[in-house]
Amino acid sequence: MLTPETEADLAEAVCAATGPLRIIGGGTRPIGKPVAGEVLSAAGLSGVSLYEPGALTLVVQAGTPFAEVEAVLAAEGQRLPFEPMDHRALLGTSGAPTIGGVVAANVSGPRRVQGGACRDYLIGVRFVDGTGAVVKNGGRVMKNVTGYDLVKLMAGSWGSLGVLSEVSFKVLAAPGAEASLVARGLSAEQGVAALSAGLGSPFDVSGAAHLDARSSDEARTQVRIEGLAGSVAYRAGRLAELLPGFEVVEGAQSAALWQEVRDVTPFAGRDGAVWRISVKPSDGPLLAGLGEAIFDWGGGLVWLLVPEEGDCGAAAIRARVAELGGHATLVRASEAARAAVAVFPPEPAPVAALTAGLRAKFDPRGILNPGIMG
Amino acid sequence: MEMPAPDASILAKKPRVVARLAEALPAGAVISDPTETRVYECDGLTAYKCPPLAAVLPSTTEEVAAVLKICHEEGVPVVPRGSGTSLAGGALPTADSVILGVARMNEVLEVDYDNRFIRVQTGRTNLSVTGAVEEDDFFYAPDPSSQLACAIAGNIAMNSGGAHCLKYGVTTNNLMGVRMVTMAGEIVEIGGAHLDAGGLDLLGVICGSEGQLGVVTEATLRILRKPEGARPVLMGYDSAEVAGQVVSDIIKAGVLPVAIEFMDRPCIRATDDFSGAGYPDCEALLIVEVEGSDAEITEQLGVINQIARGHNPVELREAKDADEAARIWLGRKAAFGAMGQINDYMCLDGTIPVSELPYVLRRTEELSKEYGLDVANVFHAGDGNMHPLILFDANKEGDLETCEALGAEILKLCVEVGGCLTGEHGVGVEKRDLMGAQYSDADMEAQMRVKDVFDPDWLLNPAKVFPLAVTASRRDFAA
């Protein structure tokens, strides 16, 4: 296993590689086609490079444990606003997730629907491309249109375009209060319609999810608001008027509801393959017949639990998603199943040609997590 | 500023190229008479001018594809153009290029409130996107100052921002999908009414690529419900340092204003004379705006005003009603017009870490004295996006050159303190030759590889973004 501790060592390791490299951070997200190759761990690149709370800016080495990043920010009353999922429960992995892994997988939780994804808060990257060259893009300021935006391209590229060495974020103050409005027993259609009403209100909803009856004791629909205490109380009251039958839950009780959605814990420890599907929110309920479902992002992010047999439902799910518009990724399945099924969504030919072209340019030898995204 | 010499073989075959374009497009969509192509000789950066070979104004994506296919076959460079409001020369033609204007493509294609998006043709202006949904209390968040005129096509090309992006983000954070035509004339769909990419985030790199990767003809944009209300507060301070500290303290305090605007003394004076806004006479003025219901606004301003008072303001004025709110914004919104009335000016837009604000303002003042040209500052302070306005006299020999040299110094200063050359206007031709101050050759090489994939012949929007010396081998090879 290669464990560089500096960017220069990382560049040298990639440069010197003679075969495929399997790039890992904390190794808690074994998603994608299985990759054969020498393990290159970024975990040795660790530590905060720069933190300016007054400028809402954090620059951190890619291998820094995510928990450490959270602790550093919490000490100043700040946080990464995109609420990344911890995959350990769902995928049955252990170890310490790294910030670089969060970026490489563009992991974004319930707050994505309001504030944006990991890629929206990522303002700079440094990485080593497949030739061993060190590249920087973006920087440490939150408004920057100088040159092409490779920052977005690196987010969610799963290490296939370059190995991240450093990442910069816009951070935000953690709010003083939160509350959720919760209803029980709604159908998926009713639930998503209520979420849409909440998200279309002026009350700045920061989470909107529905768990079907099999994933909770009873179907549960929930809408979250965060902010200053007075404002949260006001908006909770207004939303309660807008959404009859919803009850207000506050503080830690509210936070627990969202951690469950964020980490998809109802599917943790249970048999079956898990899909992550992004569609137009009102289309979400149309997928409910294909498996047990948890809807986040107002209905637009659908987690599906299906039997792990045959193609894990790939053909049926992808055909339906193709009709609706969107994409489906097989997040959890055995290594054999992931080797047999396209884990990431197959792209239409012209888009696939662009994607393949970019891979060939950034990693001409095809050594960085080859084939991980199919 | 240097531009590559026009390709004589292209100039020579103008009649054939024009005939082919005219055959592919409806009557009146091809402009080739030199008196008429002059309309397209420049954009908002009027210091540089060059009429194009021809201009085309297609009405559909298919027509755009036909134009690009022809130009691709003929090896003719294409310069995409939205409304031509770029301050960076993003739509500046070369003599051997065809201007592809999307102005006739301005329809709203779909509005979906349940799923909170609007799909438009990209020739539509920024403000009229909000115009299409505001009766139903929705809006499109990015709001560049030119929003009355600027097109969504240009917003996507430059990843435009605005005064309210501290809270709502810039174009890339509000763009969900595009329909785009590549230089080879192929139509691709990327993203849509769903969130995020299933594979590589191509949308993320297309947004902000200054029209060099493809021509975007349709866009799916996120729309938001309007807040219940908004209220600004005005603060005056005796020094830029203190005002900078106030900005920092506010964003740390857990309230997120939608806007924090900053004006320095030269700018305050000029705009106040012009607009009669009644601004205090002080070194630094802040306008902070928050949103919500009355009660929520009061709660947020309670936190903000406490911070403001703690730093001994010369003046602290909260708008009591819509009229007073308008008066607070009056001067800020008139700033560019006011400056334009007293002088020619060049508007820069480098971004700096907020913590470097006092140093950058001090150093800018020193440079201003050194070069003998006045500089007024008005900018989005919450995110460090400066807008130094360098005042010069376009009719005075050498003044423009001095202005450009001073501008380059100020932008290099932004980079030195950890910032960047451009926060929302784009590189275009204006900052092209300064790219080396921010990015190494390897950094630029990585960006140019993206161009190699989307436009292997380097025909789209030539001679922009990257220094000519850096792109020379690619342009020679393609030719």
Burial class, A212, CB count within 10 angstroms (exposed 0-12 / middle 13-18 / buried 19+)? buried
**Partner B contacted by A67 (CB < 8 A):** no
pTM of the full predicted structure?
Answer: 0.97
Q: Are residues B221 and B235 in the same domain?
A: no
pLDDT confidence of residue A129: 98
Chain B stretch 74-93, residues whose beta carbon is closer than 8 A to a beta carbon of chain A: none
Cβ-Cβ contacts under 8 Å, B188 against chain A: 348, 350-351, 354
Mean pLDDT of chain B: 94
B81: CATH: 3.30.43.10
Question: Between A and B, how many residue pairs show a Cβ–Cβ distance under 8 A?
Answer: 265
List, in order, residues 6 or more apart from B184 with CB less than 8 Å away.
B68, B69, B72
pLDDT confidence of residue A306: 97
What is the domain count for chain B? 5
Distance CA B467, CA B431 (A): 9
Residue B13 resides in a domain: yes
A224-233 mean pLDDT: 95
**Partner A contacted by B194 (CB < 8 A):** yes
Residue in A52, A155, A174 closest to B355 by CB: A52
Cβ-Cβ contacts under 8 Å, A56 against chain B: 251
Residue in A173, A202, A361 closest to B449 by CB: A361
pLDDT confidence of residue B168: 94
Residue B424 resides in a domain: no
Residue B184 resides in a domain: yes
Q: Are residues B357 and B260 in the same domain?
A: no
Domain boundary among B225, B260, B293: B225
Cβ-Cβ contacts under 8 Å, B190 against chain A: 351
Kindly state the tokens that stand for A137.
């893009």
B399-425 mean pLDDT: 96
Residue B206 resides in a domain: yes
Q: Are residues B322 and B254 in the same domain?
A: yes
Other beta carbons within 10 angstroms of residue A291's beta carbon come to 24
Nearest chain B CA: its distance from A56 CA (Å): 7
Is A145 in contact with B194 (Cβ distance < 8 A)? Answer: no
Give the pLDDT band (50/70/90) at residue A193. very high
Q: Are residues B25 and B94 in the same domain?
A: yes
**Partner A contacted by B170 (CB < 8 A):** yes
Q: Are residues B328 and B347 in the same domain?
A: no
Residue B43 resides in a domain: yes
Residue B467 resides in a domain: yes
B376: CATH: 3.30.70.2740
Residue B146 belongs to domain spanning = 108-225
pLDDT confidence of residue B24: 98
Query: What SS3 class is residue B100?
Result: strand
Cβ-Cβ contacts under 8 Å, B249 against chain A: 54
Nearest chain B CA: its distance from A116 CA (Å): 7
Query: Which residue does chain A place closest to B160, by CA atoms?
Result: A145
Q: CA-CA distances (angstroms) from residue B415 to A265, B423, B435?
A: 45, 11, 10
Residue in B353, B421, B424 closest to A52 by CB: B353
Nearest chain A CA: its distance from B395 CA (Å): 31
Cβ-Cβ contacts under 8 Å, A76 against chain B: 252
Other beta carbons within 10 angstroms of residue B477's beta carbon come to 10
Nearest chain A CA: its distance from B429 CA (Å): 12
Q: What is the pLDDT of residues B318-367, one digit of tens each?
A: 998 889 998 998 888 888 788 888 788 899 999 999 889 889 999 999 99
Q: Are residues B13 and B75 in the same domain?
A: yes
Residue B134 resides in a domain: yes
Give the pLDDT band (50/70/90) at residue B476. confident
B170: CATH: 3.30.465.10
Q: Return the HEC string of A23-50.
A: EECCCCCCCCCCCCCEEEECCCCCCEEE
Other beta carbons within 10 angstroms of residue B5's beta carbon come to 9
Q: Are residues B21 and B85 in the same domain?
A: yes
B94-102 mean pLDDT: 98
Q: Are residues B117 and B221 in the same domain?
A: yes
**Partner B contacted by A144 (CB < 8 A):** yes
pLDDT confidence of residue B355: 85
Q: Are residues B283 and B319 in the same domain?
A: yes
A319-A324-A327-A330 Cα dihedral, nearest 10 degrees: -50
Give the pLDDT band (50/70/90) at residue B479. low
Domain boundary among B168, B190, B225: B225
pLDDT confidence of residue B339: 81
Percent residues over pLDDT 70 in chain A: 100
A170-192 mean pLDDT: 96
Is A135 in contact with B446 (Cβ distance < 8 A)? Answer: yes
Q: Are residues B391 and B457 in the same domain?
A: no
Q: What is the pLDDT of residues A63-98, one digit of tens each?
A: 999 999 999 999 999 999 999 999 999 999 999 999
A251-276 mean pLDDT: 97
Chain A stretch 260-319, residues whose beta carbon is closer than 8 A to a beta carbon of chain B: 278-282, 297, 300-301
Q: What is the pLDDT of residues B252-275, one digit of tens each?
A: 888 889 999 999 998 898 888 888
Quick check: B66 pLDDT over 70? Answer: yes
Query: What SS3 class is residue B461?
Result: coil
Q: Are residues B112 and B216 in the same domain?
A: yes
Nearest chain B CA: its distance from A175 CA (Å): 6
Q: Are residues B330 and B244 in the same domain?
A: yes
Is B351 in contact with A144 (Cβ distance < 8 A)? Answer: yes
Mean pLDDT of chain A: 96
Q: What is the pLDDT of residues A341-372, one digit of tens each?
A: 999 999 999 999 999 999 999 999 999 999 99
Is B293 in contact with A228 (Cβ distance < 8 A)? Answer: no
The domains found in chain A, sorted by start residue, are 7-173 (3.30.465.10), 177-262 (3.30.70.2190), 265-340 (3.30.70)
Identify the helix (H) or strand (E) that includes residue B285. Answer: strand B284-291
Q: Return the HEC string of chain A.
A: CECCCCHHHHHHHHHHCCCCEEEECCCCCCCCCCCCCEEEECCCCCCEEEEEHHHCEEEEECCCEHHHHHHHHHCCCEECCCCCCCCHHHHCCCCCCEHHHHHHCCCCCCCHHHHCCHHHHEEEEEEEECCCCEEEEECCCCCCCCCCCHHHHHCCCCCCCEEEEEEEEECEECCCEEEEEEEECCCHHHHHHHHHHHHCCCCCCCEEEEECCCCCCCCEEEEEEEECHHHHHHHHHHHHHHCCCCEEEEHHHHHHHHHHHHCCHHHCCCCCEEEEEEECHHHHHHHHHHCEEEEEHHHCEEEEEECCCCCCCHHHHHHHHHHHCEEEEEEECCHHHHHHCCCCCCCCHHHHHHHHHHHHHHCCCCCECCCCCC
Identify the helix (H) or strand (E) that includes residue B260. Answer: strand B259-264
Domain boundary among B101, B136, B158: B101
Q: What is the ipTM of this complex?
A: 0.97
Q: Find the range with the poorest average confidence among B254-258, B312-316, B440-444.
A: B254-258
**Partner A contacted by B457 (CB < 8 A):** no
Residue B173 resides in a domain: yes
Chain B stretch 406-435, residues whose beta carbon is closer than 8 A to a beta carbon of chain A: 418-427, 431, 435
pLDDT confidence of residue B75: 97
